[in-house]
Amino acid sequence: MKTVLITGASRGIGRELALAFGRAGYGVGVNYAKEKAAAEKVVQDIWEAGNKEAEAFACDVRDSIKVRQMVDAMIVRWKRLDVLVNNAGITRDRTILKMTNGEWNDVIDVNLNGPFWCLREAARVMSQQKSGAIINIASIMALRGGFGNANYAAAKAGLIALTKSAARELGRFKITVNAVLPGFHITDMASTLTEEQRERVRAEHTLGQTTRMDDLTRLVLEVAQNNSISGQVLNVDSRVAA
Ligand code: NAP
């Protein structure tokens, strides 16, 4: 049985990815930072859909030691790690002139440092296995920049550069590393946007609709299973990026 570790899988996109990998028969590590009950509900939902191979793992991805312990715990349970999805992310929006050091650092810590700790630990295991897939969930902001979220755009652009570097280094171990830009989804992350702001985002979509969650989860599963795609940035979106 193949296994996947998905960071930030208690809510939003991570939750949907966990359910999709669960339906596909993977052993699913459901990582969360704070929302234990929500993560356990994801595990329960995977079980109820007929797959008993799911477990919640508490770990703040900012803590590299805890990340190592989480990956070790995955290996204790399943003996292997086939897929890492670096999905956990936060926003701390503020225009540059008003942005505090804390707001800058928090976003870099969760959205760039955390994925690096996770990628490094996954690569440690996958390089021994001589197989694996790492998928970093970035954002269209990395390509276009954003007004009021320079910290987020910079972290996600860094994540794309990390993706390409890791693909170059890890290909010799048959590990694929790709970035997926998930499109726009009304999750808790988007909850601070006003209806007017949401409408403006929706209007940019050339297909007249935002990304469907099932289209995103299908693409991530495909990337996880495809042995010929690495070092790529896949944009599940109908907004023209740049
Ligand atoms: P969300 O609904 O706000 O969920 C965020 C998830 O990240 C939660 O499960 C949360 O876990 C987890 N998390 C936050 N800080 C963490 C930490 N320090 N350690 C471990 N987990 C942590 O977000 P989302 O909208 O699903 O976004 C998921 C990913 O997609 C993010 O990387 C985001 O940047 C990216 N993205 C989203 C959109 C969008 O339109 N929603 C667009 C582009 C990119 P707890 O609740 O347990 O703390």
Give the SS3 label for residue 205.
Answer: coil
Quote the percentage of the chain above a pLDDT of 70: 100
Whether 108 maps to a domain, the answer reads yes
| CATH of residue 37 | 3.40.50.720
Range of the domain at 63: 3-235
Q: What span, in angstroms and rounded, lies between the C-alpha atoms of 235 and 221?
A: 14
* Residue 34, ligand 1, Cβ within 6 A: yes
Give the SS3 label for residue 31.
Answer: strand
Task: Supply the pTM of this predicted model.
Answer: 0.98
Whether 119 maps to a domain, the answer reads yes
Q: How far is the CA of 172 from the centre of ligand 1 (A)?
A: 31
Residue 241 has pLDDT above 90, yes or no: no
One-letter amino acid at 19 equals L
220 token code pair: 């991530």
Q: How far is the CA of 22 from the centre of ligand 1 (A)?
A: 19
Quote the percentage of the chain above a pLDDT of 90: 98
Task: Please give the pLDDT value at position 122.
Answer: 98
- pLDDT band at 81; cut points 50, 70, 90: very high
pLDDT one-digit tens code per residue, 172-197: 999 999 999 999 999 999 888 899 99
- pLDDT band at 15; cut points 50, 70, 90: very high
Q: What span, in angstroms and rounded, lies between the C-alpha atoms of 120 and 193?
A: 34
Whether 240 maps to a domain, the answer reads no
Whether 242 maps to a domain, the answer reads no
C-alpha gyration radius of the chain: 17
Out of 152, 159, 166, 184, which one is annotated catalytic?
152
Task: Please give the pLDDT value at position 53.
Answer: 98
Active site annotation includes 152 = yes
Domain count, the chain: 1
Whether 169 maps to a domain, the answer reads yes
Whether 241 maps to a domain, the answer reads no
Atom index in ligand 1 nearest the CA of residue 11 equals 9
Whether 153 maps to a domain, the answer reads yes
Ligand 1 pocket test, candidate residues 189, 192, 197, most atoms within 8 A of CB: 189
* Residue 115, ligand 1, Cβ within 6 A: no
Assess contact for 83 and 224: CB atoms under 8 A.
yes
pLDDT one-digit tens code per residue, 112-157: 999 999 999 999 999 999 999 999 999 999 999 999 999 999 999 9
Task: Please give the pLDDT value at position 242.
Answer: 72
* Residue 7, ligand 1, Cβ within 6 A: yes
One-letter amino acid at 205 equals H
Whether 196 maps to a domain, the answer reads yes
β strands within the chain, DSSP E: 3-6, 27-32, 54-58, 83-86, 132-137, 175-181, 233-235
Cα 179 from chain centroid?
9
Task: Please give the pLDDT value at position 95.
Answer: 98
DSSP letters of 70-96?
Answer: HHHHHHHHHS---EEEE---------T
Nearest C-alpha neighbor of 45 from the set 10, 79, 76, 69: 10
